[in-house]
Structure 1
Amino acid sequence: MNFGLKLWSTNADVIDKAACLIKEDVFQYIELTPIPNTEIDPFLKQDVPYVIHITTERHGFNIADESKWDFNIQVIDECIEWADKLNAKYLVLHPGFGSIDKSLDFLQMIDDDRILIENMPKIGLYDEQMIGYSPEQIESLMGSKFGFCLDLNHAVKAAISLRLDYKDFISEFMELNPSYFHIADGRLNYEKDEHLAIGKGEYDFEFLKNLMRFANNTQVTFETPRMDLNSFSDDIRNMNILNQISTNR
């Protein structure tokens, strides 16, 4: 299992620390989200493995919004340019909120087989109707062109909204053969996205780790809180906790 550190392009001040942890093999790659109007140069200086997470709805990006398609294309093109320059293995993409048909139409315009479609909660932070919350929707969005990033936290949240057993629901997602994962802990009585440290919520990480163990070339990015933005000690603590969890079932 390879573990990744999550950074945004506004975190240029800590890229040297992050790169040291990669070179020491504490973590194995950086998942980097390019934020509009930031520079790639600090990240080019570090010869480490990257994955790009395409800019999200926090910055106005939504592939289901037809009125924003020109902006969305511009954002994706810029992220692809970053991925090319950083030799990134994957680009992770949120499928948006609103109409899945609009998202499917938009994806017809995109052609890069490094793109992984990420599953989402059913209900957004502001009560949006999210796209890609079920295995059926993800399979449709992937089509024959794209791969799959399984966000385990999002899957649990969608299961809560749908009143389904989250373990059975995640097992259905696993049939789509993800090899890239996002993890965080959370509560089982709250359907909206949250990112708790491993062990601070209610998820069964023995079960989740056991599932990830059987994926091919598993890459796992921690989406857990960082109390000190200049330190990765919380990431290391979360990784150590996950490593100590037994998968003997």
Structure 2
Amino acid sequence: MPDDSHSHPAPSEFPAARMFRRQLLLGIGAAAPSGCMTERRRTIAEPPAPPPTPPMYFAMEDDGHYIPEVNMSQFNPAYIRTEVDFETDERPGTLIVDTPNRYLYHVHGDGRATRYGIGVGRSGFSWSGRANVGYKRKWPRWVPPAEMIAREPDLEPYSSANGGMAPGINNPLGSRALYIFRNGKDTIYRIHGSREAWSIGRAVSSGCIRMINQDIIHLYDRVDVGAPIVVLPDLSEQTIESI
């Protein structure tokens, strides 16, 4: 029988064996069997951090009431209070409510105005026209009108007969209210504060104009009783009430 002991390489000389030895020398582990492979970890992206809160929207104490910092993760930065160029024929001191774009402008004159973000009345409660600031109140009581109570009977405890809702951060009128009058008569509409930053830029209220509390305080200190109010119509709405 022929001696073929030298015709085949030793097991250690097979290419796979040589590769295995090379991996050991280089410190590289051999591949694990496919049935026992470690599952690759998924990378979960961190949610983006909310933008920093401008100092004008920091928490504050006002007449014994605590107003929390504006939650910037819920507040569209397009509605941050700012002074802007604004050409208008309306006299200084006028409030112009740009309903379609969800802004309120306090006219300074000389082509400038302070612009505030607002929430407006939802469809069916929209209105437009000219009016005036009849009076204004700090930390007002909230008294829902009879029509609102008829739609929402659970508001009966806050009726005029029951004295309304006491002032406070959870009061729907917030920290300040400007009462809108036309021809000496209360329209039942208000420009008021709100702690719901998410609602600014939206149509959510029952016809009133809402601002975050820090903004209504800023406006309140600068607007006079009797100041003109001009509310521009949102022509995309199905129901527009002129006052």
TM category, shorter: under 0.3
TM (norm. structure 1) is 0.20
Larger Rg: 2
TM (norm. structure 2) is 0.20
More strand by share: 2
